[in-house]
Amino acid sequence: MVLVSGMTATTAILKATLTTGVIVLAALLLVGKMGTFVIRFRNNNNNNTRLISNVYDKCQKADNYLNRRDFKIRSSDLTYDAESRCQSDVKKESGEREEEFVSQTRQQFLLVPDEYNAQDVVQCIDSLWIKRNKRPITIAFVGDSTTRQHFASFVRSIPDYDRQTESLYTKTVEILYHDDMNLTSRLMGNLKISFYWRNLINEVMLADFRRWASTEDHAQVPDLILFGATVHHMIASNNVTFEMYEKLLVNELVPLMKKSLLVHPQQEIIWLKQSLTIEQLSPADENHVAYGIYPDKIEKYVAILPRILKDTRVVIWDSINAIAEEYIRACGLTSYYDRQDEHEYQHCHDLIHTGMGAISLGTRLLLNHICESAESAEFS
């Protein structure tokens, strides 16, 4: 994904490359009117192609909707196309049958832009509830303010039949919004969606994961945990060095996550990979300088995740990063054209927190990920 690292009115070559399609895409990302995607493999599962079809399905499902590898943003659509990558797997399994199968299915990688309405969400939650023998579904968002954004966006997708929302003012609360929250719905099978304000890997956060890892009662732990807490470890005033952060991951947090996943096979943990910022577009104020959150530092902190999370069932969600980067690029476009609105282009004055229009696209990806599990052997 190409990012806009800096623009000036005198950069004629760059200006020429900013096509109408790119500008339209950027605006759609900001206002949240663009749909998301579901990829469907509609193969001819006859006796000659079933083996290869299964290989394709297995290859595609390995990435699901959270992996960025095959995720592409174009001016006209969003795509998730694993065909070229999966063909190598097909070749290993099928040998000479590959050419015939690929020629039959090349046009059958269909893009289906699914946007979950209220009825779809209810059907999804009901399916999961029935699949779990009518045990309540529990989803927990654990982390910092970016994770809270995803919590807020996800909650918007839940129909308000009898929703009850509770704010829990705990000792971790320091300023507005830094509180834990619970949303419950009895009519939706006692659905519970929670947000835990945990911006740092400290004793408060570790106590949560110890509690979940130490009980064998599945009803006492979240079925799905969306975790994201990175940038606060970069702020100098929090007195956490990079080496300390890595040690906390390796020695404390990740072992607890692994144990919880082992004790609770139905549980899933999704690690929200921190998105980059654009240094040249960041506010040049004293607070921002004090925070010191810049792209090169973020890259350093997120680069260690694949190694540390290897051989765990923790899933890294990085397809959302592509959407966030396009959002930031849109902010760059408004800066390039000298737009002087109070908030530039909605939320572009805050480049740590991606605009809610872009976050809503992430919610749709997350819903596709969760709801497709209702049709598979997962999340049971």
Residue whose pair of structure tokens reads 């506010």 in the numeric block: 283
pLDDT score of 3: 35
Q: Cα separations (Å) of 220 from 18, 211, 287?
A: 52, 9, 40
Mapped onto helix, strand or coil, the DSSP state of residue 145 is: helix
Please list the residue range(s) of the chain that carry CATH number 3.40.50.1110.
118-320+347-373
Q: Cα separations (Å) of 379 from 48, 125, 308?
A: 32, 11, 24
DSSP 3-state percent helix, strand, coil across the chain (nearest 5): 50, 15, 40
The tens digit of pLDDT for each residue in 78-112 reads 666 666 666 666 666 655 554 555 554 444 444 44
In this structure, the strands spanning 224-228 and 268-272 are parallel
pLDDT for 21 beyond 70: no
pLDDT for 340 beyond 50: no
Q: Cα separations (Å) of 331 from 71, 117, 293, 354, 360?
A: 21, 29, 18, 10, 17
Indicate the pTM of the whole model: 0.77
Spatial contact of 352 and 341, defined as CB atoms under 8 Å apart? no
pLDDT tier at 114 (50, 70, 90 boundaries)?
confident
**Span 114-137, average pLDDT:** 90
**Amino acid at site 329:** R
pLDDT for 359 beyond 60: yes
pLDDT score of 37: 33
Share of the chain above pLDDT 70, in %: 59
271: tokens are 């690690």
pLDDT for 174 beyond 90: no
pLDDT score of 65: 77
Distance in angstroms (rounded) separating the CA atoms of residues 380 and 378 = 5
Q: Cα separations (Å) of 5 from 8, 79, 357?
A: 11, 25, 22
In this structure, the strands spanning 138-143 and 224-228 are parallel
Q: Is 118-320+347-373 assigned to CATH 3.40.50.1110?
A: yes
Share of the chain above pLDDT 90, in %: 41
